[in-house]
Amino acid sequence: MEQNNKFNLVDYHFRSQQEVVVSYKGPFDKGAMNMIGNYIRGLISMNPQASKKVFKVFIELAQNIAQYSAEKNIIGEYVGAGVGSLVIVDYPDYFQVVTGNLIDNGDLGPVIDKCELINTLDKEGLRKLKREQLKQNDYERAGADIGLIQLAITSDNPLDIEVKPIDQNCSFFTIRVKINK
Amino acid sequence: MQNLEIKGSHGDYDVPTVFFNAETGVCELKGESYLEKTAEFYDRLLAWLDEYIETVSNPITFNFRLTYFNTSSSKRILYILLKLKEYEDNGGEVTTNWYYDEDDTDMEEEIEDFRIISNLEINALPDSSLRWE
C-alpha cells in the first residue's frame, strides 16, 4: 500500500519545551558549528559568565560528535562529519546542554568508566586528573583525552549520562551538562 | 631566519593569530583556538621555535593572549611551554607572559595548571581588553 507520509512540523515545533533555545540534528560540520556557536555568542551580553561556559561546553561536545560519532554524514563516497543531536535548554536557574550520538559498543565501556570516575571528584581532584592526563599524553593522538574532564571543570556539575542500546554494534549515548546561572 | 606570521580567523573554526619575530625573539599567540587541524597548526609553531632555539639562540619573550582554547589545543599549548622550559634549562633566557581577562577565573586556573605541569614560570597578567565577546 502506498503511504503518504506528511511530517507534522506543527507537532515538532510545539513539542519542544518553551525553554529550548537551540535544537539541531545533523552533521556537526563547519556550517553547523558556526551557526550554533554564533547563536550562543549572541546570548553572552545577557549573562557573560554562564554563556561563555555554555559556548565552551558546546564546542567540546560538538567536536566529540564530529570526530567520534559512529554515524557519519555520507555523501556519495565522501565520509563527512559525525552526526548527532544537540539541544540547549534555558531554565530559570541554569542552562543545560544535551547532546546524543551513536557510539560503537566497544567504545562504550571506557567512556562510562571515565564519566563515573569524574563524578566522584571535586574541582581540585578534576584539575589534578586533567594535569596527569595532559602530562602523559601521546603526541601522535589528535585529541587530548581530557574533553570529559574539562566539561566537568567548566560546568562545575556532574556529567549526567544515559545509554540506550540500539543493536549488537552500537548504542545511543546521551550526555547532559548543566551550567548554573 | 624568517618571522612566522599567521593571520587568525574567526567564524566556523577559530584559528589564533601568530606573530613570532626572529629578530626580537618576541612571540605572540592571540585570539581563540579551536581548529580543525590542531596538530598541523601547532607543529608549525613548534618547528619555528626549534629553529630559533638552534640557530638564533637569543632570549624569547612569549606572550599568550588567548581568550579561549579547546582541549586539543591545550595539549599543543603545553608542548610550547615544555619547549620553552627545555630551552631555559639549557641556558636560554625565557620570559612567558599570559594576558587574560581578570573576570575569567577559568582561564586563571588553566594558567596555573600549565604552570604546575610544565614547571615553567608563567606571569599571569590581567588585561581588560581581553574580555570575551
What CATH number did the domain enclosing A78 receive? Answer: 3.30.565.10
Provide the pLDDT for residue A144.
Answer: 65
Residue A142's nearest CA partner among B40, B28, B48, B47 is B40
Provide the pLDDT for residue B12.
Answer: 57
**Helices (H), ranges, B53-97:** 71-89
Helix axes A147-155, A105-118, angle to 10 degrees: 40
DSSP, res B53: I
Instruction: Say yes or no: A56 contacts chain B, CB-CB below 8 A.
Output: yes
DSSP, res B34: B
Total tally of structural domains belonging to chain A: 1
Is residue A10 a part of any domain in this protein? no
Q: Are A67 and A141 in contact (CB under 8 A)?
A: no
For residue A13 the three cell numbers come to: 515545533
Distance from CA of B35 to the nearest CA of A (A): 10
Instruction: Say yes or no: A139 contacts chain B, CB-CB below 8 A.
Output: yes
Is residue A138 a part of any domain in this protein? yes
Instruction: Read off the CATH number of the domain in which B30 is found.
Output: 3.30.750
Provide the pLDDT for residue B58.
Answer: 98
Query: Scanning every residue of chain B, which has its alpha carbon at the shortest distance from the alpha carbon of A132?
Result: B117
Run means of pLDDT, 10 residues per run, chain B, 133 residues: 91 84 97 88 97 98 96 94 98 98 94 97 94 73
| Residue for grid cell 558556526 | A34
Instruction: Say yes or no: A59 contacts chain B, CB-CB below 8 A.
Output: yes
Is the CB of A134 less than 8 angstroms away from the CB of B72?
A: no
Residues of B at the A interface, defined by Cβ within 8 angstroms? 11-13, 34, 36, 38-39, 68, 70-72, 74-75, 78-79, 103-104, 106, 109, 113, 116-117, 132-133
Pairing of strands B94-100, B60-69: parallel
- Cα separation, A104 vs A114, in Å, equals 16
Q: Angle at the Cα of A69 (from A67 to A71), degrees rounded to 5? A: 125
Provide the pLDDT for residue A80.
Answer: 85
Total tally of structural domains belonging to chain B: 1
Choose among B11, B70, B75: nearest Cβ to A134: B75
For residue B132 the three cell numbers come to: 570575551
Domain residues for B57?
Answer: 4-130
- Which residue type occupies B129? S
Provide the pLDDT for residue B33.
Answer: 93
Q: Tell me: ipTM over 0.90.
A: yes
Instruction: Say yes or no: A114 contacts chain B, CB-CB below 8 A.
Output: no
Distance from CA of A152 to the nearest CA of B (A): 12
Is residue A113 a part of any domain in this protein? yes
Burial A146-178 (b: 16+ CB within 10 A, else e): bbbbbbbbbbebbbebeeeeeeeebbbbbbbbb
Domain residues for A147?
Answer: 19-180
Choose among A34, A44, A63: nearest Cβ to B133: A44
Q: What are phi and psi of B11, to 5 degrees?
A: 150, -95
Instruction: Say yes or no: A131 contacts chain B, CB-CB below 8 A.
Output: yes
Query: Scanning every residue of chain B, which has its alpha carbon at the shortest distance from the alpha carbon of A142?
Result: B39
Run means of pLDDT, 10 residues per run, chain A, 181 residues: 74 75 91 88 79 94 91 84 93 94 94 96 97 84 83 97 96 96 91
